[in-house]
Structure 1
Amino acid sequence: MRITRVLGAALLALGLAAGPAAADSSPSPGASDDGKAPTRAGTSFRTATEIEQGQRATASGSAGDYLYWSFPADTGRRPTVRATVKLPGTHGPQAWQLDVYDGLRRRQACQYGAQTRTAAQGTGSVELACVLRTVRGWSEPWANDPLPGTYYVRLTVVDLGASDLGQPVSAEVRVDTKDIGGAAAVDGSLGKPLVPGIAVEAGDEDGSKAAVLSSFGSDDGWSSGWWSDRWVWTAIGGMLAALAGVGGYVLTRGPGRPSRVPPNV
């Protein structure tokens, strides 16, 4: 009976502790399109148009242009970038490519997805996708692991006929994210997210303007740090190990010593 009560209490504690961790590992809702989505793209890293995760951005350009967007990605997140290019009615074969760079402008490899696709002659559109690796909180300096901060999306055509160069095209880009949780946690964190670039904000009363980091680099909103739901599961494991030790002791200690019987007189 005592063992049953101990196991019941352990299962109850396990359920209460696992509830928040399971909630944290579920996909986070993206930002909804509220009619304020960007309608243009930058032409370089420095002029990349900022978009939020879950926001659909559109842009018009010409075949041969480089189109740039940027978005924030935090620790424990796995971003997915999707792009659709709408082509003119008459064109030859064209190969389009979607590249993603981190805050240090290092090209990030895609776990899976059609990063480069060729549109056959007369095809109305081409769709591209890139699922990045999970963003880590810390990495060795020589590694190319994705780290929290700004990420850049570059969309361009890499192969087309001379007659198609400069033809009008339109593009649509969307970035979604999935929260991986403590499964991707590491023992370390960056002091600051990788948010390069310079933006200008309204200055002091004297009219001066100060150069600051990109608006993604706000003081809050970044979860990089020591805490992750891995600590919850570690505590649960320690609790279960302690309970298993107590239960094993109860099972193996044997029956209690018999009461002393007074000697016969």
Structure 2
Amino acid sequence: MRAIRILSAALLTLGLAAAPAAADSSPSPEASGDSGGPTRAGTSFRTATEVEQGQTATARASTGDYLYWSFPADAGQRPTVRATVKLPEGHAAETWQVDVYDGLRRRQACQYGAQTRTAGPGTASVELACVLRTVRAWSEPWADDPLPGTYYVRLTALKLSADDLGQPVDAELRVESADMGGAAAVDGSLSEPLVPGIASRPEAEGDDDSPSAVLAGLEPEDGWTSGWWSDRWVWTAAGGALAALAGVFGYRLTRGPGRPRHVPPGA
């Protein structure tokens, strides 16, 4: 009975340890917080407007423009990109598409979501979504897995009539991520996140005013992770403890009742 009580206590401990891991699979709290995002969009990769996850970026543009934003994504996150385009009145059929690229400008496939949609004549708006694969801490050089670093979003119209070209539109972009936890952990990590230089600014110190290249200014709130720690270490330790307790319990079951104490003759 004592071994059963010990085993029950271990299972309770494992449940308490797993509770934070289960909570991590929900969208991050920042996703529903600050909505004061930027009010413009870039026109190329180099001029992409930075937006933090959980912010809503807006931009006024014209049909036919290419709109670019960038955001940081870290290992273990599964980003979801959502874009909404408010169309002008009296427009013809238009097809819009949102694409996501990593720091190496490799186009990343969407797991699911309406990445391309056609808005019929007179439709007020069109909504697009792209759920990326989980960002990995490390990958083979030949693979195209999502890796930690800067990601680019491109929003544009693929098909539209000549009369609609140049018509004003309003675009909104929002990026949220779900933390996938130790289930997405891998052995290994990048030495540096894929954050390319995309801007320039004058040196703060020095005699000359020549601009110097700088990296993207945004990064995850807690900084870039090292890639070696994940909650799977908790599961591994708890599993090892349960295996040891199960061995003790099994030994007590197979041992049988204790031998009677030897009583000397004539005692």
The alignment's TM-score, normalised by the length of structure 1, stands at 0.93
Give the alignment of 1:79-228 within 5 angstroms. 79-201=79-201, 202-204=203-205, 206=207, 208=209, 210-216=212-218, 221-228=223-230
Residues 40, 162 of structure 1: alpha-carbon distance in 2 compared, 3 angstrom cutoff: same
User: Cα RMSD over matched residues?
Assistant: 2.0
Residue by residue over 1:149-196, the C-alpha shift from the partner in whole angstroms, topping out at 9 and shown as x without a partner, is 000000000011112111111111111111111111111111111011
Distance 1:117 1:20 in 2: 38
Structure 1 position 40 matched with structure 2 position 40: yes
**CA-CA distance at 1:244 after TM superposition:** 0.3
Distance 2:244 2:34 in 1: 50
**CA-CA distance at 1:220 after TM superposition:** 6.2
Aligned to 1:246: 248
Which deviates further from its counterpart, 75-84 or 19-28?
A: 19-28
Residue by residue over 1:35-81, the C-alpha shift from the partner in whole angstroms, topping out at 9 and shown as x without a partner, is 4x211100000000000001001111111110000000111111111
Aligned to 1:236: 238
Aligned to 1:78: 78
Residues 113, 220 of structure 1: alpha-carbon distance in 2 compared, 3 angstrom cutoff: closer
**CA-CA distance at 1:207 after TM superposition:** 5.6
Gaps in structure 1 of 5+ consecutive residues: none
Residue by residue over 1:105-141, the C-alpha shift from the partner in whole angstroms, topping out at 9 and shown as x without a partner, is 0001011111111111111111111111111111111
**Residue identity opposite 1:147 in structure 2:** L
Residues 33, 10 of structure 1: alpha-carbon distance in 2 compared, 3 angstrom cutoff: closer
Contact 1:199 1:215 in 2 (8 A): no
Q: SS at 1:164's partner residue?
A: coil
Distance 2:244 2:250 in 1: 10
Aligned to 2:13: 13
Distance 1:218 1:164 in 2: 39
**CA-CA distance at 1:19 after TM superposition:** 3.7
**CA-CA distance at 1:217 after TM superposition:** 5.3
The percent identity for this pair of structures is 75
Residues 123, 26 of structure 1: alpha-carbon distance in 2 compared, 3 angstrom cutoff: closer
**Residue identity opposite 1:234 in structure 2:** T
